[in-house]
Amino acid sequence: MLSYRHAFHAGNHADVLKHIVLIQLIRYLGQKDKPFWYIDTHSGAGAYSLTEGFAQKLGEFEGGIGRLWKRADYPQPVADYVDLVRQFNADGRLQHYPGSPFFALWAMRPQDRLRLFELHSKDARLLQQNFENAGKQVHVEANDGFAGLKASLPPPPRRAVVLIDPSYEEKQDYDRVYHALKDALVRFPGGTYAVWYPQLTRLEAHELPRRLKRLPVKGWMNVALRVKEPAKDGFGMHGSGMFVVNPPWTLPDTMAEVMPYLVKTLGVDAGAGFTLEQEAAA
């Protein structure tokens, strides 16, 4: 939706979960010498201020990265995530938050490539500016990410991590995600696909993970973090999830270590909890 700006939500509990998973995916593919692509369908602006503008209106980062910032008891995957956020805050104060493209870039190697798509005109310009010194490793397009994904597959190195992360402000986004992933699996069945989704009271949000599980894939993992009870009025997001197709074999064990910690540190009330389920490749 062209009115959506991720800056309102930068660094919240959903970003924490999403970026911990993303770092694990990128680093796993980097264990082999052969290069790979990172494709981001909804890249946003790429970086966000937490001390002014949109982020200050809602202060959602205080319930996410803000709760982790000064702790020292991290499981290693959480420590890896927080260390990358610290690269964006050299003076030790939490003032800026990197978007998914920066997490991917920092976890990648020089031979790997990023293709970033963003349709919102203002965020697309900011994304271009944030990566203007990245050279040929990063390609930014002011374009619809679903169309961009279709045009990018299969990637030349035949290896890729794809993040599908729309706003879901439009009801149609749930269908778009499902059909985009279904089409992508035909074009490039061996890719690693990570779909972020919100936990809301609306039916479409509840049904999306179930629909994704029915896709013809070799293996998947679904991990979700619920930070509070759903609101009685049905308003707002009480959690979020990451559905990963063709996940690294190490990822379920990694998230089994991480999720109890995230529930403990990011949970708001007794409704906090997590889901972790998988179907392994045959």
Cβ pair 141, 151 in contact under 8 A? no
91 in catalytic set: no
- Sign, Cα dihedral of 176, 245, 224, 113: negative
What are the two backbone dihedrals, phi and then psi, of residue 244, each rounded to the nearest 5 degrees? -115, 120
Q: Which of 144, 165, 253, 269 is catalytic?
A: 165
Token pair listed for 53:
């503008």
Q: Annotated catalytic sites, by residue?
A: 165
